[in-house]
Structures are given as C-alpha cells and as structure tokens.
A and B are shown apart, each in its own frame.
Chain A
C-alpha cells in the first residue's frame, strides 16, 4: 500500500490493547509525550474477548486524570480498526497529530525544560 502517515508518532507494540494500563499512559505524558493514542481491534472482535473494551475504559480514566491536572483529556484517545484497514490507521495517525499540534506541546515537557 505504501501509505503515508506522520513520522512523529512512535509505535509501541503490545500483544493486545488490554495490556495497556492507565499508568503506561500517564508515564508517557510524564516523560514528555504530547499525545497518546491506543489503537485496538474493532469492539466485539477482541481475540481475548474484552481487551479493547478494557483499554477504552483505561483511556477514559487517563483522560479524566489528565483533564483534572490541567494537561488536557483530549491528548489521550482510543481508536478501533480491523487489521486490514491500513488506510484508516494512516487516517487516525494524521488526525491525532493534527489535533495535538493544534493543542500545542505537553505542558509537562515545557515545565521540565524550563526547570532544566
């Protein structure tokens, strides 16, 4: 397909999105990530039954925490697609990068740079 998608995302592979916990998302922001999105299988089609549903709830928890502490809940997102949907993967990546660029950099990263 040779699809183009933004080069400023870093893919972290997990066996199932059910592996992703709130703490992983928060640590990413603590380390300076401007946004984190989790891409899981289509809902109802998880090989492990409900891994992607759990991931969605964890992303929602992370969003609530990020909103409360002033980082912005929309910097964390959950997307779903089937493994054959390459174009959709590229679309999600572009959409996420565009939205995050509009929001600006992670304030934690700026605060850390200022302190250093």
Chain B
C-alpha cells in the first residue's frame, strides 16, 4: 500500500487560516490503513480545526467527508454537487488522490493534509516500512522475494557491498542488509546456486527516470 504520514496541524493551519468554508476529505484506502487520512483522522483534524478557529474568534465552516477512494473518477464524482460550497479542501489522501482531485475540480483550492512517503507494509501497529520502489521491471523472482532496489541503499543488483556487517547496512545499524536477507532466503529455498549467477544490467527505462509513466491495457479498456 501507499504509506503516508500526517502533516503537523500547525502546517495545515498555516495553509488554510484565511479560509471560511473548508472540507476535510479523507480516503478509505491506503491512508486509512496507515492511520494518516481515514475517517478517524478526518474527524480528529476537523474537530481540532473547528476548535482552533473558534478560539481565534472566527466561525469557520468545517465539514468532513471520507470517500471510498480519491484516485478514481467514480468516487470523486460523489462530491461534485457540494464542492462549490467550499473555498478550500484539505485532502488527506496520498499525493495521487490530491492530484486527481486537483485535476477534476480545477477552481477549488486544494491542500494536502499528509506527506506521502513510500510503498510499504505494516510490520506492526504504528510501524510501516518500505518494500517497493515501483521500478516497473520486477526482479523478485531471482532475489528470493526480497527487493534490492527498494531495500538496498545502493540498489545493488549483485551484492552485498563491503558495507554489510553482521547482516546490517553501513548507513544505519537498524537497517537490514538486503543482500544478506537475499542470501539467507536463497539458502532457505535451497537455491543458493542462483546467487552465483551475475545479474545483467537492469533495464531502467521503466523506472521514474524516463518521466511520468503510464500503464495502458487495451484488453480491459
């Protein structure tokens, strides 16, 4: 899932302090799971903002809506009839949702309420870690299901490097060496022979370096 983190309330207040009618728009998908922009977080932010403005002696209308997703036309259409009531929207969706919203409602000022961080997994409650960099050319089949692109600081295709010590990466003692994990997993799979094969130069044309990417599937269009 896409992992995001809450923006500090002070930062959000700074962005919207001059507005009069504000919609806090949550998303029921990834940001709900990582507890940054779901219905609950929408309620907390809206309540905090209502109190902040009242304390400033201002009556600001703050409404709460949480859509099933903000990255789909169908769900974003649900607010079309009410969007003109607001002079600002704080979207708690990931960067995708915020941008999709901006493209769809071109005259409504829009502010992000979260910092979108990475594609990751929930290791435990309150701890999310990166797993994928969406390079567009998955090589997990040859690396025992552990991604050296996302999890090796150097993105090495033939690792580990000399900075791997006791299974940890040299950039931080808390970070596992991805290549140590790969070797351990290949051993467990009894496929350590594959480790000896040199990985060829990766085709990076599918990665971000070529500009914004697109997946087009005519079979489902």
Interface residues of A (CB under 8 A from B): 21-23, 26-27, 29-30, 65, 68-71, 107-108, 111-112, 114-115
CB within 8 Å for A65 and B55 given contacts A21-B40, A23-B43? no
Return the contact of A68 from the options B10, B43, B57 (Cβ within 8 A): B10
Using an 8 Å CB-CB cutoff, how does the interface string of B46-83 with A read, 1 for contact, 0 for none? 01111110110101000000000000000000000000
Return the contact of A26 from the options B8, B47, B54, B55 (Cβ within 8 A): B47
CB within 8 Å for A68 and B55 given contacts A23-B40, A23-B44? no
Q: Which A residue's beta carbon lies closest to that of B52?
A: A69
Return the contact of A108 from the options B40, B43, B55 (Cβ within 8 A): B55
Q: What is the minimal beta-carbon distance from B204 to any residue of chain A, in angstroms?
A: 42
Cβ-based interface call for B140 (8 A): no
A69 contacts B48, C-beta separation under 8 Å: yes
Cβ-based interface call for B9 (8 A): yes
Q: What is the minimal beta-carbon distance from A108 to any residue of chain B, in angstroms?
A: 5
A26 contacts B48, C-beta separation under 8 Å: yes
Most buried by A among B40, B51, B55: B51
Q: Which B residue's beta carbon lies closest to that of A64?
A: B9
A111 contacts B44, C-beta separation under 8 Å: no
Which 8 A-B residue pairs are closest in the complex by CB-CB distance?
Answer: A69-B52, A26-B47, A111-B54, A23-B43, A65-B48, A70-B55, A68-B9, A107-B55
A26 contacts B9, C-beta separation under 8 Å: no
Q: Which B residue's beta carbon lies closest to that of A111?
A: B54
Q: What is the minimal beta-carbon distance from B35 to any residue of chain A, in angstroms?
A: 11
Using an 8 Å CB-CB cutoff, how does the interface string of B4-16 with A read, 1 for contact, 0 for none? 0000111001000
Task: Determine the chain B residues whose CB is within 8 A of the CB of A21 once the complex forms.
Answer: 40
CA distance A9 to B184 in the complex (A): 59
CB within 8 Å for A71 and B51 given contacts A65-B9, A115-B59? yes
CA distance A27 to B51 in the complex (A): 10
CB within 8 Å for A30 and B9 given contacts A23-B40, A108-B55? no
Q: Which B residue's beta carbon lies closest to that of A26?
A: B47
CB within 8 Å for A69 and B51 given contacts A111-B57, A115-B59? yes
Given contact pairs A68-B9, A68-B52, A69-B13, enumerate 12 new A-B contacts (beta carbons under 8 Å). Answer: A21-B40, A23-B40, A23-B43, A23-B47, A26-B48, A30-B47, A65-B9, A65-B44, A69-B49, A70-B55, A111-B54, A114-B57
Q: What is the minimal beta-carbon distance from B127 to any residue of chain A, in angstroms?
A: 14
Q: What is the minimal beta-carbon distance from A98 to any residue of chain B, in angstroms?
A: 24
Task: Determine the chain B residues whose CB is within 8 A of the CB of A27 once the complex forms.
Answer: 47
Task: Determine the chain A residues whose CB is within 8 A of the CB of B13 once the complex forms.
Answer: 69
Task: Determine the chain A residues whose CB is within 8 A of the CB of B59 once the complex forms.
Answer: 115
Task: Determine the chain B residues whose CB is within 8 A of the CB of A114 once the complex forms.
Answer: 57
Q: What is the minimal beta-carbon distance from B46 to any residue of chain A, in angstroms?
A: 9
CA distance A29 to B40 in the complex (A): 17
Task: Determine the chain A residues whose CB is within 8 A of the CB of B48 once the complex forms.
Answer: 26, 65, 68-69
CA distance A30 to B59 in the complex (A): 13
